[in-house]
Amino acid sequence: MFALFVWLSAFCQPFDFRSYQVEKGLSNNTVTCSLQDKRGFMWFGTKDGLNRFDGRGFKVFRQINGDSNSLGNNSITKLLQDKQGVLWVGTERGLYRYNEEKENFSLMNNSLPSYIQGIGNDGYGNLWFISKFRLFRYTTVNGKITEYPFKNSDDYYTAVCGDTSGHIWVASGRGQLGLFNEANGQFTFYPLFGHSRPPVSTYVEKIFDSGEGFLLIGTSNQGVKQFDLAARTYSDILTYNEDGTEIFVRDFIKRSRYEYWIGTESGIYIYDTRTNSAINLKKNYNNPYALTDNAIYSLSRDREGGLWIGTYFGGVNYYSNQHLMFEKFFPQLGQNSISGNAVREIVQDSTGNLWIGTEDAGLNKFNPHTGRFQNYQPGRSPYSIAHTNIHGLLIDGNVLWIGTFEHGLDKMDLHTGKVIRHYVAGADANSLKSNFIYSLYKTKAGHIFLATSNGFYRYNRDADNFQLLSFLPFNTFYSAVLEDDQGTLWIATFNAGLFYYNPAKNMYGHYRLLSNGEDVLAKTRITRLYEDRQQNTWISTENGLYCFNLGRTFLKFYSDKNGLPSNLIYNTLEDKQGNLFITTSKGLARYDVSHGTITVFTQANGLLTDQFNYNSGFIDPAGKMYFGSVKGMIAFRPEGFQPNNFVPPVYFTGFQIFNKEAAINDQGSPLNKSIVLTQKITLPYNQATFSIEFSALSFSSPGNVQYAYQMRGISNAWNYIGANNRIYFTNLPPNRYQLSVKSGSSNSRWSNNMVSIYIEIMPPWWKSTLAYLLYSALLLIAAFLVFRFYHNRQLAKQQREMELFEIKKDKEFYQSKMDFFTKIAHEIRTPLTLIRAPMEKMLKQVDALPQFEKYLLAMNRNTERLLTLTNQLLDFRKIESDHFLVNITSFNVTELLRNSCANFQSAAEQKNLHMQFIAAGPVFVQADEESTLKIISNLLDNAVKYGQSRIIAEIQPVQLTDKWVTIAISNDGNLIPDALHDKVFEPFFRMKENEKATGTGIGLSLARSLSQLQKGDLTITTAHGLNTFNLTLPV
């Protein structure tokens, strides 16, 4: 078996790994355990935290000081998902249960906070774990923890495993394998080292159930042991490394029925149970696709069949089934490998060797059977190649033609590997005119043609020289040649289009593919020409791929709009099944001609790089295909391509508000549980700028997963966003939205798996439903108030109009009344005057007739009264018509008041009224004396007329600085209410209590008007049982 290991490790290592280390987000490069959970997430336990991986990024869980819901220790030792889907995490400080909803942890009830060496699950759903070499069972039904100590106190537990039948197996430090008997609660033990070479250590690291009737036992000193479940016996199957040292085994994983991967301190062993053989995969410092570390600590398998390898120093390595498709050839320092990165033309000689030109490291000969390379470089020897930058290669019998960049053409003898002739550009007619030999082509008739940067040439074998085909443009860069089944040569150029030439018929011309009157082939670089088995011609260009049929009729144009990864096409080749492989600047495309579908492969699928190289492609007679890139060469068998039919689930994995991750139950966070499980998010209006992450849990080619989303509430259309797995939303208006995300492959096959989440943006309080109800209520109230306002306004208007109408009527009535009284006054005044004079004469002669004295006095008094009344009416009329003139003079108002009181003294006495005159001394006023006398007489007349027992006439004291004097005349008649204080000065107004008294109702109105004409005023106050009229005049 040693020899087998040596041979396989030397050559048979087409295993390519993708690594994830701290630079890609892993918390620590020491990965001790891993598993895939029920949803499809990968979990990795490390020396510094627990990692959840979704294919795009890691979410790290660590111990948080002071947080009892975090892990109690960052060093993760074991992981297990039980039959209920619960994730259990073993640490150096106890066993923790993961709460998926809250994304936190709780320490198992009553478990010891110590190192967890192993976790297993039995058929009853119970959890078995080893803590500090002691075995415990956790009964999930009642939460009870039971310890199972060894009868032999010197032994201890090292490993535990639940098999596919639900049985529990344990291993001991003394090299025993134990099976638990549920009936009696005891273990039955079987030796594991009984007939083996005496071990240095009997420590068992791992028990693995194959599901095929045997257990695989990993030991620290004797490699792998196989325990037969039926016979209850073991056998040593893989004990020693290639160098004879013992294999230290840490983990197992089953890849297929007969293939097991074994993680050891010496790399990975792939063990085949049918042949009882194994190959060893190890770290290779010159191979970036090899394992990153030899110390393998954990192995797990995902649902796509991918394998995850946890290492001690190299992080996690991932091996995908698809990576088997591509063999990689690239320069490896110190090892036999291809010499250069920029691989150009590839040709095969008659012995099966491949000749590979590079643009940076000369010529290579590759033996596909041995896997060995031989490199040819320029040198001082005349037999060496001319330059390291090789473009064109052509096999012609035992000769290899080598076209270089600006160093001419070499002719090499394949038997000797020596250059036997070197051609360079010359001045004579039969020489090359360019040293840049871009491509070479040999026709079915054996003619050799050269495409150069300056002309197209035919090689003359007999004369050993070159003929320029002068009917073709000379100063033109020629790039490719193709002979069709009719013997016509199709000659491609850079930016000059496509030409044809039939040597037998001596026919030539320029083929044009017109679009809008322009030759589209003349506007781009043609990189390669290829004819398939259906005799369709495929023209690769830097602007897409064109297809023509036998009659040179244009069939179809292919570009990135049809599913190609790029419009820059380097080469097109047909495989044995009739499918086309197309190399581009962004990946390799497989065109299934029968179904019309395109599948894209990129670096995520195991390519060296996404960018291939010009004129680089070859298919050998067995159908194996080779393509050169800017980082080496790949090879594969097209029939080995298996479609990945795995449909990954899609989950939301992150939610950020203003680019800050929202944590569960944090202040201001809308999340109260994991975003993975969240079905609705409610956001306030000021958090309407957010982003959300999602991932399809496919790990084989996560970079090729395409995404589309639909945001109902904005649009029902699907938005296709490529490989981007985060969506940003800015200032979304308040509304209810439904975000849905689906995934698809790079060939536009979209899955039906879709994840949705409801997002509600709450309006600000002033835009809330309650606010709008309030606004509606306020609007209704406002409408009501406006209605009431206008209604009241209308009523007020009508009322004003009615009042104006009434005022107008009153005024008209008043005017007519005044006109009537004025007319009567004029009519009465003259007779009164005529009566008055005889009356006065008669009174002078009353002594002659004493019996008529009282009658004459009554007649005189009433005559005076009527005359006074008529004078008042006429004065009032003058005032209203602004025809009343006042004569302002200075006079003694005290004397005027005293005389007026004296004139009314007898009238007062007749009514038994006590009249009191009060004045401090003479007071002079600036007023009209006659008008003032009329005012005072009117006030005294009213006082006598309405007084009950007393009248007071008072001139209030005046200071030198005073500008006004007040004359107050009071009586104790019926008190005038405050509400009528202004009313009594209106013309013709009389109180009901005073209606029996004689009067016209214009005296007070006239008195106020006369006072105001003198820049004074007349007011009334009621206090202390007296009505007091206050006449104010300027001093």
pLDDT exceeds cutoff 50 at 1008: yes
Dist. CA 413–CA 173, nearest whole Å: 67
Question: Average of pLDDT values for 166-172?
Answer: 97
Question: What's the pLDDT score for residue 871?
Answer: 67
- The answer for residues whose C-beta is within 8 angstroms of residue 7's C-beta and 6 or more apart is none
Q: Which helix (H) or strand (E) holds 19?
A: strand 18-20
| 255 in Cβ contact with 269 (< 8 Å) | no
**Residue 692 pLDDT level (bands cut at 50, 70, 90):** very high
Determine the average pLDDT of the residues in 821-842. 64
* Fold of the 885-1034 domain: Heat Shock Protein 90 (3.30.565)
Q: What is the pLDDT of residue 859?
A: 73
Q: At CA 163, angle to CA 161 and CA 169, rounded to 5?
A: 45
Q: Does 928 score more than 70 pLDDT? A: yes
The CA-to-CA distance between both ends of the chain, in Å, stands at: 145
Mean pLDDT of 483-488: 91
How does pLDDT run across 192-204, given as a tens digit for each residue?
999 999 888 999 9
pLDDT for the residue numbered 957: 87
Work out the average pLDDT over 181-207: 94
Which pLDDT value is given to residue 1010? 86
Identify the pLDDT of residue 51.
99
CATH fold group of domain 650-767: Immunoglobulin-like (2.60.40)
Higher pLDDT, 645 or 455: 455
Per-residue pLDDT tens digits for 147-160:
999 987 789 999 99
**Distance of alpha carbon 477 from its chain centroid, rounded?**
50
Q: What is the pLDDT of residue 747?
A: 65
**In 3D, which of 225, 304, 295, 303 has the Cα closest to residue 260?**
225
Residue 1013 has pLDDT above 80, yes or no: yes
- Give residues with Cβ within 8 angstroms of 335, minimum separation 6: 286
Residue-wise pLDDT for 496-525, tens only, equals 999 999 999 999 999 999 988 899 999 999
Residue 816 has what pLDDT? 63
More reliable by pLDDT, 907 or 247: 247
pLDDT score for 8: 44
pLDDT at 1: 34
Residue 1030 · residue 897 · CB < 8 Å: no
Nearest to 255 by CA among 238, 221, 278: 278
Per-residue model confidence (pLDDT) at position 9: 43
Give pLDDT tens digits for 651-675: 999 999 999 999 999 999 999 999 9
Residue 969 has pLDDT above 60, yes or no: yes
In DSSP terms, which residues pair with 316 in a beta bridge?
20, 310
Distance between CA atoms of 667 and 620, rounded to whole angstroms? 65
Phi, psi of 778 (to 5 degrees): -65, -35
CATH class of 2-319: mainly beta
Q: Is the pLDDT of residue 274 over 50?
A: yes
Is pLDDT above 50 for 256? yes
pTM for the whole structure: 0.74
pLDDT band at 854 (very low <50, low <70, confident <90, very high): low
Mean pLDDT on 227-247: 95
Residue 510 neighbours by CB under 8 Å, 6+ apart: 497, 498, 499
* pLDDT score for 861: 64
In order, the DSSP letters of 590-627 are EEETTTTEEEEE-GGGT-S-S-B-TT--EE-TTS-EEE
Residue 901: predicted pLDDT: 93
Beta bridge partners of 33: 45
pLDDT for 519-560, tens place per residue? 999 999 999 999 999 999 999 999 999 999 866 788 899 999
How is the chain split into domains, by residue range? 2-319, 650-767, 771-850, 885-1034
pLDDT band, very low/low/confident/very high, at 216 (cuts 50, 70, 90): very high
- pLDDT one-digit tens code per residue, 334-358: 899 999 999 999 999 999 999 999 9
pLDDT band at 714 (very low <50, low <70, confident <90, very high): very high
Q: Is the pLDDT of residue 876 over 80?
A: no
